[in-house]
Amino acid sequence: AFEGLTERLQGAISGLRRKGKVTDADLRDTMREIRMALLDADVNYTVVKEFVRNVREKASGANVLEGLNPAQQIVSIVNDELVEMMGDEATPLNKSPKIPTVIMMVGLQGAGKTTTAGKLANKLKREQNARPFMIAADVYRPAAIQQLQTIGEQIDVPVFELGTDVDPRDIVRQGLDAAREAKADYVFIDAAGRLQIDEALMQELADIKDIAQPDEIMLVVDAMTGQNATETAEGFNERLGITGVALTKLDGDTRGGAALSIRAVTGKPIKFVGQGEKMDDLDVFYPDRMASRILGMGDMMTLIEKAQKDYDEKQAEETMEKMKSSTFDFNDFLDQMEQVQNMGPMEDLIKMIPGMANNPALKNVQMDPKDMEHIKAIVYSMTPAERENPDLLNPSRRRRLAAGSGRPIVEVNRMIKQFNEMKKMMGQVLNGNTQGMEQMMGA
């Protein structure tokens, strides 16, 4: 997601870099480009207007024109504004003082309500040892109940259902009783959706809200629907008073507008983002990390957290230190690769590395697990000394690696080149975000 927006924002700002002295007119041009980039990314018009006004205000207040490095200052102002626009801090799931916490899932058909209920239940179960419980209250969509049951079996969470012939209000009443009986601590109500907001749906949801008194009304919106996502959020919020948003399908080809507009338009926080179809593919939404991602500064924190799932913190810190001081060698690289292989699709991870999301060389890259095996084969063919000191790898040693790994020499050369580039880039970025980014933009 966001590649288009990232490229445009970087382009807009890098224009300033080429100037020795930045004039008021230059700044106006830059702001116009940023404005167009945001509008083309489907960010809500009013939100864009306010955003541009704020950035311009801060930029003139900060004396950007007289500053030594106008582009860098603008990056930092834009970054701060993006973070603020998305709500500053991560907002946790609401929790009832006494069990159960009731979470009502609402949203249009196909947005991802059922899937997200399952993902969230799974997350609570895994991270907090919670005892979730799900109520199948969508009696209209064909096979909706079956879908929730399948998910329930998969994550081992009980599902309450009364078929499709019972009024959803009664299902919710009885389901809540059953949940209390089962001593569940989180209850998910998988309510119905429609293709569009309509009165019958809203009335049903309002009734369910009255009955269940949910602690959280979680609106699920599909990030791929662009401007419509924001309008949907406004509609549901006006009628039901949502308490949080889960933004789904951020793994898809979305332009980013929904992530950037929803908070500003509804005043309600995005709490989670869905980034895939699997039960593990749900993450807490961090405005600052999202801003870095949008600006192409990568999302190192998320990457490191993913690694920490089966990696201890100390080791991760050591790796960071090595990257910073550029002592990262092929042994670390092998370690990393093994960690990364347990973490999920390579393409997604690569995009979190600073500078990689927009790296043209990786634009349409499909990381084949076979490629990883080839890279490993090359590293395994290195002597311990070569692994610790990649500079030793002269042409004759490289030929030996090619023979040893059974890979063509061009592939060996390419791999070493990429390793060196990665090492350099990480060193730069980790030693001061904006500076590293500056260099990338200038490149």
Of Mg ion, ligand GDP, none, which one does residue 248 interact with (CB within 5 to 8 Å by kind)? ligand GDP
266 binds Mg ion (CB under 5 A): no
Q: Cβ closer to Mg ion: 64 or 111?
A: 111
238 binds ligand GDP (CB under 6 A): no
Q: Cβ closer to ligand GDP: 56 or 123?
A: 123
228 binds ligand GDP (CB under 6 A): no
193 binds ligand GDP (CB under 6 A): yes
Q: Cβ closer to ligand GDP: 177 or 277?
A: 277
35 binds ligand GDP (CB under 6 A): no
Of ligand GDP, Mg ion, none, which one does residue 354 interact with (CB within 5 to 8 Å by kind)? none
Chain residues 78-137 in contact with ligand GDP, contact rule CB under 6 A: 107, 109-115
Q: Cβ closer to Mg ion: 120 or 353?
A: 120
- The one among 114, 122, 243, 302 contacting Mg ion by CB under 5 A: 114
Q: How far is the CB of 168 from ligand GDP (least distance, A)?
A: 14
248 binds Mg ion (CB under 5 A): no
Q: How far is the CB of 136 from Mg ion (least distance, A)?
A: 9
Of Mg ion, ligand GDP, none, which one does residue 225 interact with (CB within 5 to 8 Å by kind)? none
Q: Residue 2 in contact with residue 294, Cβ under 8 Å?
A: yes
Of ligand GDP, Mg ion, none, which one does residue 267 interact with (CB within 5 to 8 Å by kind)? none
274 binds ligand GDP (CB under 6 A): yes
Q: Which residue is nearest to ligand GDP (CB)?
A: 274
- The one among 30, 101, 230, 248 contacting ligand GDP by CB under 6 A: 248
Task: Name the segment binding ligand GDP (CB under 6 A); options: 154-162, 180-188, 245-253, 317-325.
Answer: 245-253
Three-state SS across the chain?
A: CCHHHHHHHHHHHHHHHCCCCCCHHHHHHHHHHHHHHHHHCCCCHHHHHHHHHHHHHHHHHCCCCCCCCHHHHHHHHHHHHHHHHCCCCCCCCCCCCCCCEEEEEECCCCCCHHHHHHHHHHHHHHHHCCCEEEEEECCCCCCHHHHHHHHHHHHCCCEECCCCCCCHHHHHHHHHHHHHHCCCCEEEEEECCCCCCCHHHHHHHHHHHHHHCCCEEEEEEEHHHCHHHHHHHHHHHHHHCCCEEEEECCCCCCCCHHHHHHHHHHCCCEEEEECCCCCCCEEECCHHHHHHHHCCCCCHHHHHHHHHHCCCHHHHHHHHHHHHCCCCCHHHHHHHHHHHHCCCCHHHHHHHCCCCCCCHHHCCCCCCHHHHHHHHHHHHCCCHHHHHCHHHCCHHHHHHHHHHHCCCHHHHHHHHHHHHHHHHHHHHHHCCHHHHHHHHHHC
> Between 143 and 182, how does the x/- string for binding to Mg ion read (CB under 5 A)?
-x--------------------------------------
Task: Name the site residues for Mg ion (rule: CB under 5 A).
Answer: 113-114, 144
Q: Could you list the residues that contact ligand GDP (CB under 6 A)?
A: 107, 109-115, 193, 220, 248-249, 251-252, 274-277, 281
